[in-house]
Amino acid sequence: MKSVFMVAEKPSLAQSLAKILSNGSMNSRKGMNGACSVHEFTGRFRGETMRMKMTSVCGHVMGCDFVGKYNNWDKVDPVELFTAPIQKKEANEKLRMPAFLAKEASGAEYLVLWLDCDKEGENICFEVIECVENVMTRVAGQQVFRAKFSAITDQEIKGAFNNLGAPNKNESLSVDARQELDLRIGCAFTRYQTKFFQGKYGDLDSTLISYGPCQTPTLGFCVERHDKIQSFKPEAYWVVSTQVQLPDGKSMKLDWERVRVFDKEVAQMFVNLIRSGDKACVLDTVQKKGEKTKPLALNTVEMLRVASSGLGLSPHHTMQIAERLYIQGYISYPRTETNNYPDSFDLKGTLRQQQDHPNWGSFVRKLLQEGMKQPKKGQDAGDHPPITPMRCARESDLEGDSWRLYDYITRHFIATLSPNCYYLQTTVFFEIGSEQFSCTGKVLQDPGFTEIMPWLALGEDEEIPTLKKNTMLDVEEVKLIDRQTSPPDYLSESELITLMEKHGIGTDASIPVHINNICERNYVSIIPGRKLQPTNLGIVLVHGYQKIDSDLVLPTMRSAVEQQLNMIAMGQANFYEVKQHAIDIFHLKFRYFVQNIPAMDELFEVTFSSLADAGRPISRCGKCRRFMKLVEAKPARLHCSICDSTYSLPQNGNIKLYKELKCPLDEFELLLWTTGAKGKSYPLCPYCYNNPPFKDMRKGMGCNECSHPTCPHAFSQNGVSECVECERGILVLDPTSAPKWRMCCNK
Query: What residues make contact with DNA under the rule CB under 7 A?
Result: 9-12, 35, 58-60, 63-66, 71, 73-74, 91-92, 95, 116, 118, 120, 178-179, 182-183, 186-187, 190-191, 194-195, 198, 207-208, 210-216, 323, 327, 335, 506-507, 509-510, 513-514, 517, 635
Pairing mode of beta strands 236-245, 251-256: antiparallel
Q: End-to-end alpha-carbon separation of the chain, Å?
A: 74
Distance from chain centroid for Cα 632 = 29
For 311, the enclosing helix (H) or strand (E) is helix 300-311
**Nearest to DNA of 74, 343 (CB atom):** 74
Q: How far is the CB of 78 from DNA (least distance, A)?
A: 8
**Nearest to DNA of 10, 411 (CB atom):** 10
Q: How far is the CB of 116 from DNA (least distance, A)?
A: 6
Q: How far is the CB of 55 from DNA (least distance, A)?
A: 12
Among residues 684, 532, 543, 651, the alpha carbon closest in space to that of 606 is found at: 543
Residue 424 phi, psi (nearest 5): -110, 125
**Nearest to DNA of 415, 561 (CB atom):** 561
Q: Are 417 and 367 in contact (CB under 8 A)?
A: yes
Q: Are 11 and 36 in contact (CB under 8 A)?
A: yes
Asked about 333 being catalytic, the answer comes back as: yes
- List CB contacts of 617: < 8 A, sequence separation 6 or more: 627, 628, 629, 630
Q: How far apart are CA 671 and CA 505, in angstroms?
A: 45
Q: How far apart are CA 198 and CA 204, in angstroms?
A: 7
Q: Are 534 and 542 in contact (CB under 8 A)?
A: yes
Q: How far is the CB of 15 from DNA (least distance, A)?
A: 10
Q: How far apart are CA 84 and CA 71, in angstroms?
A: 10
Q: How far is the CB of 104 from DNA (least distance, A)?
A: 16
**Nearest to DNA of 305, 637 (CB atom):** 637
Q: How far apart are CA 255 and CA 239, in angstroms?
A: 9
Q: How far is the CB of 215 from DNA (least distance, A)?
A: 4
Q: Is 84 left (phi over 0), alpha (psi -120 to 50) or beta?
A: beta
Q: How far is the CB of 357 from DNA (least distance, A)?
A: 27
Angle between helices 536-548 and 597-607 (to 10 degrees): 150
Q: Is 400 left (phi over 0), alpha (psi -120 to 50) or beta?
A: left
Q: How far apart are CA 243 and CA 475, in angstroms?
A: 6
**Nearest to DNA of 12, 143 (CB atom):** 12
Q: Is the peptide bond before 739 cis (omega within 30 degrees of 0)?
A: yes
Distance from chain centroid for Cα 678 = 32
**Nearest to DNA of 148, 656 (CB atom):** 148
- List CB contacts of 130: < 8 A, sequence separation 6 or more: 62, 98
Q: How far is the CB of 543 from DNA (least distance, A)?
A: 19
Among residues 585, 275, 538, the alpha carbon closest in space to that of 432 is found at: 275
- If one counts every other C-beta atom within 10 angstroms of the C-beta of residue 366, the result is 12
**Nearest to DNA of 36, 105 (CB atom):** 36
Q: How far is the CB of 556 from DNA (least distance, A)?
A: 14
**Nearest to DNA of 116, 669 (CB atom):** 116
The catalytic residue among 333, 423, 523, 545 is 333
**Nearest to DNA of 187, 614 (CB atom):** 187
**Across 392-460, where does the E strand assignment appear?**
421-432, 435-446
Catalytic positions, written as ranges: 333
